[in-house]
Structure 1
């Protein structure tokens, strides 16, 4: 295969990975607090030498170098649920899991059988001091203030721990809307949380659909070029392989 074919195939492979990313965004368009992602690409330069070009020429192959997450805030939806909490602006809730501390913006919480505030998967939601938020059996009037202070009819229980990071792109997906990172969290002194609200996905479905169509067309265009080149080479081979009728 010539260099043109290799470059075309590398571009197709990059487009396929990009298509998978777009498809994942669309699949999570209704997932609370989901953040859209997109691929990052760069040129991988290879220097080649031939008899005609003894000093070589540079060939550029597309290479995916990572994923960029769109950290912009999603729209807010009112639920009326006292344990639903959304963060306005930057910040993440701190969640205690068996694998260690994790972080999330998906604030759809509930109470477990012990009265502890947990995520849908049953992981404890942390308050300042890395303590779980626990309600007494008789407490019914749960109030969460804009600064994250949790209280009931019996008084203040604690304050939800909200943290930020110097670079949010360092956060890695840990499943179930959670993120993991080796970076040190920064305490958010004045968080802005809203009770009875959940943050929706920031995926713009129409934009992602447009991206998918554009990627598919590019992929099909490259495939057509490869097919045409293949047919051209076959014609040349067949032509050269025929005996010379004038001989």
Structure 2
């Protein structure tokens, strides 16, 4: 091994150890699998040479052996499920999934406890690459378990509709770079204070009134088509009277609806 490559490995290990105590555990569990697996090229990778992570393309973190990490200990866990082994064979891809067998209820319960989503209060599950329906359904299943999460990042997950999901304790929700087209597709967020929906496809402000009964103080709608509506800021603040900041700009006097002019102000007084 060359000095440059060994130096890169050493620096990456130091960075991994400084980020979290459990990162080394994952790297140890990855090592035996990567040594025994032959890499091959994928047409959807977009690169000529394979990355070491391609060996674990279809595995969630709890599918990797020799660790006891829980979901609440991960900063950005991989939560999507891989396709069935039969589908991989039809696609002529190397099957990286463990052999499928009947999973006893005891093991299912152990995995459920290990995920530990009910105890998460600050969670980042962005960039999950949800390209298939079974992955989206598994993602929504996890969202329904986030009963205590207060800060949630769901950036760039190709999400379309989360109206069937309820996040009762969420105060900060970041859903930038998804495929939302309406406020009606948002999850139920009764305690929301800061909501960011930048770079979605929301064209109309219809459904914005559903946030009227929430303590929402800050809203980000940058790079959505609705941003170009006439009187955009006035319309948003009229729907949300408690809103203090829109797109990073505090509420200005001109953002308020003009008050009705009294009829007495038009009467000319002659002395």
Pick the TM interval, shorter chain: under 0.3
Report which structure shows greater RCO (CA 8 Å, sep ≥6). 1
Which is higher, the Rg of structure 1 or of structure 2? 1
Structure with the higher strand share, 1 or 2: 1
Structure with the higher helix share, 1 or 2: 2
TM-score using structure 2 length: 0.20
TM-score using structure 1 length: 0.21
